[in-house]
Each structure stands twice: as C-alpha cells, then as structure tokens.
C-alpha cells in the first residue's frame, strides 16, 4: 500500500544537511528598482538526496542554484555546503546547465577528461576514470567523436559524464533535459537515476516538467514567484528503481497531481497556503 505523502513547509531534510540554505534573500537592483528574486528561502538537503525544484518562470529557481554553485551571493542569509559557507565555485559541486557547454574541438573522452587534466591527474588514471563515466552514461562507442557528431541527448550525457568524472559530491542541474524531445528526456531520466544509484550524489535538479520532478526525486520543492519563495515541499515515496511501471502507477499519478495542484493553485490566485495533501 502506498504511504502518506508527507508535506512540510520548512523543506527540512530528516538527516544532517549536506546543503543548508538558511533564510536566504536575494535582491537584484535594476536602475532604481529593487527586485526580490528570493525571499527568506530555507532548505536543507541531506547527503545523497535527490531534490527537484519546480515553479513558474521567474520564481528564483536558477538564482537558488547559482547561489549554491557559488556564482551568485545571497543578499542576506546563508548557504552552507558540508557546514561551510559557499565562497565560490568548487570541485565539490558539479554544475550542469540546459546548454551542454562542451568543448566542440575535443572528443567526448577529452571533454570528460578535461576537468581531471586541470586537477593534475596523471594521464593513464584520467583516461581510465573518463572511460568509466563514459560507460556509465552509455557513450563508450562514441568516446572518440566530436560533440557535433552527437545528438542533443548524447551531448547532455557527455556533460553529465564530465560532471561526474571530477567526483563532485553534489550535482546542481538547471533544466538539463529542457532542450530535449520527450523520448530522449525519459531515457536520460532513467540513465541519470541509474548513475545516481551506482555513484551516489546529492542532487538539486531544476525542471519545468512536473512528471520529471516526481519521477526523479526523493523530494519536490515547489517555488512561487513575486517574491521567489518555497511554497510547498512534497516527499516522494515511490520505490527504486524507478521503472516505467513506476511511472505508470497510480501512486505516481497521485503525486504528480499533488505537485501539479500546488504549482497551479498558486499561479491561479489561490491563497498563499499550499493545497491540502491529495490523499
Ligand atoms: N543578474 C540578474 N539581474 C537582475 N535580475 C535578475 C538577475 N538574475 C535573475 N534576475 C531576476 O530574478 C528573478 C528570478 O530569476 P531566475 O532565473 O532565478 O528564475 P527561474 O525560476 O529560474 O526562471 P526560469 O524558470 O524562467 O528559468 C527573475 O525575475 C529574473 O529576472
């Protein structure tokens, strides 16, 4: 029997936090206007958790991810990784954006090896490591080709292998599958979960796709805009491995509806409290 969907307002993880976002506010100044992109956002993410973030355009999803990546600083509040304030980008956090950002003149293998080379890893070891992660994402046959010879989905898999290879304990993914067709997207979701099962990481994954958010996550964070804030948090108690049967299960549908209601409810003038739990 499916368990209850647990919803909390605070976004606190049950275990000690790998990522601790505490009362983060971020304002941008545009001319004379001050724009509040994030307003008092608090969120703990436990080690090895897979958290997805959904919400309308402009609710501050990327701003939150960029703060954790060290690409933006909070205006107020704190963002800690392993208990230390984020002070810039670091090898402990791999970032994957919607645009694959591969070096077009380097083969798949050389792209994956790149970060290891920068880190000074000897050639034989970095090759072995790159080949391992190329295998994890199913690109072994394409290790020697240039990105231009790959499909969009394959390029994104290469970007994932590159991020995995430098062994970050955290993956920050900003709509990584947003540019892909539905089938490639579903395949990559499966591969990402498989890789996550084998090489555990703490993942923060932004998406506009509610099905994707539920399929991948242990927890879904729903954000609202104007100002950007956490509106709802939904625990996902679907079993692993997340097979296509899981995707077609009534429990998946219930959770998807629960998340969708939460996103829709806010966008269509509901009061600022989340809707009640669906079951
Ligand atoms: N560097 C910046 N300067 C000024 N305003 C910014 C800057 N970065 C983000 N913003 C504003 O902050 C708000 C939140 O932006 P953000 O990109 O985090 O939203 P988002 O939820 O990721 O949106 P989307 O789903 O469309 O990608 C937006 O209104 C955006 O215009």
Q: What is the pLDDT of residues 149-185, one digit of tens each?
A: 998 888 988 988 888 888 889 999 999 888 777 887 8
Q: Which residue has its alpha carbon closest to ligand 1 atom 9?
A: 63
pLDDT for the residue numbered 166:
84
> What is d(CA 252, CA 211) in angstroms, rounded to the nearest whole number?
9
Question: CA 240: distance to chain centroid?
Answer: 18
Q: Which residues contact 187 (CB under 8 A, 6 or more apart)?
A: 153
Contact, 39 vs 2, CB < 8 A? Answer: no
CA 239 – ligand 1 centroid, Å: 34
3-class secondary structure, 221: strand
Q: How confident is the model at residue 25 (pLDDT cuts 50, 70, 90)?
A: very high
CA 65 – ligand 1 centroid, Å: 11
Contact, 67 vs 43, CB < 8 A? Answer: no
Is the pLDDT at 58 greater than 80? The verdict is yes
Closest ligand 1 atom to 29 CA: 4
Tell me what ipTM this predicted complex has: 0.97
Q: Which residue has the higher pLDDT, 13 or 180?
A: 180
CA 228 – ligand 1 centroid, Å: 9
Closest ligand 1 atom to 175 CA: 27
Q: Which residue has its alpha carbon closest to ligand 1 atom 31?
A: 58
Tell me the average pLDDT across 196-205. Answer: 89
- Ligand 1 surroundings by CB, under 6 angstroms: 28, 30, 35, 37, 55, 57-63, 228
Give the mean pLDDT of the chain: 88
Closest ligand 1 atom to 228 CA: 14
Sign of CA dihedral 111, 115, 117, 122: negative
Contact, 222 vs 61, CB < 8 A? Answer: no
Map out the domains of the chain with their CATH numbers: 1-92+170-269 (3.40.50.300), 97-167 (no CATH)
CA proximity to 234, closest of 196, 276, 204? 276
Is the pLDDT at 267 greater than 90? The verdict is no
CA 175 – ligand 1 centroid, Å: 14
CA proximity to 174, closest of 65, 90, 258, 262? 65
Sign of CA dihedral 34, 36, 39, 45: negative
CA 60 – ligand 1 centroid, Å: 6
């Amino acid at each position: 029997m499916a368990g209850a969907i647990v919803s909390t307002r605070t976004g606190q993880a049950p275990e000690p936090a790998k990522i601790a976002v505490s009362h983060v506010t971020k304002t941008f100044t545009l001319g004379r206007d001050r724009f509040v992109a994030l307003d008092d956002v608090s969120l703990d993410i436990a080690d090895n958790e897979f958290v997805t973030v959904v919400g309308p355009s402009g609710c501050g999803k990327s701003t939150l991810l960029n703060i954790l990546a060290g690409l933006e600083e909070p205006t107020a509040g704190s963002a800690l990784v392993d208990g230390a304030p984020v002070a810039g980008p670091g090898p402990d956090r791999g970032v994957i954006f919607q645009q694959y950002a591969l070096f077009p003149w380097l083969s798949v293998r050389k792209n994956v090896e790149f970060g290891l080379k920068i880190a000074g890893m000897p050639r034989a070891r970095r090759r072995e490591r790159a080949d391992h992660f190329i295998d994890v994402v199913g690109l072994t046959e394409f290790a020697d080709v240039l990105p231009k010879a790959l499909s969009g989905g394959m390029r994104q898999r290469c970007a994932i292998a590159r991020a995995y290879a430098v062994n970050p304990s955290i993956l920050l993914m900003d709509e990584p599958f947003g540019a892909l067709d539905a089938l490639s997207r579903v395949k990559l979701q499966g591969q990402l979960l498989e890789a996550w099962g084998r090489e555990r990481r703490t993942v923060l994954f932004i998406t506009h796709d509610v099905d994707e958010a539920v399929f991948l996550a242990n927890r879904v964070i729903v954000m609202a805009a104007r100002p950007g804030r956490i509106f709802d948090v939904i625990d996902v108690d679907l079993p692993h491995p997340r097979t296509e049967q899981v995707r077609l299960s009534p429990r998946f549908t219930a959770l998807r509806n629960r998340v969708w209601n939460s996103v829709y409810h806010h966008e269509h003038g509901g009061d600022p409290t989340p809707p009640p739990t669906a079951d």
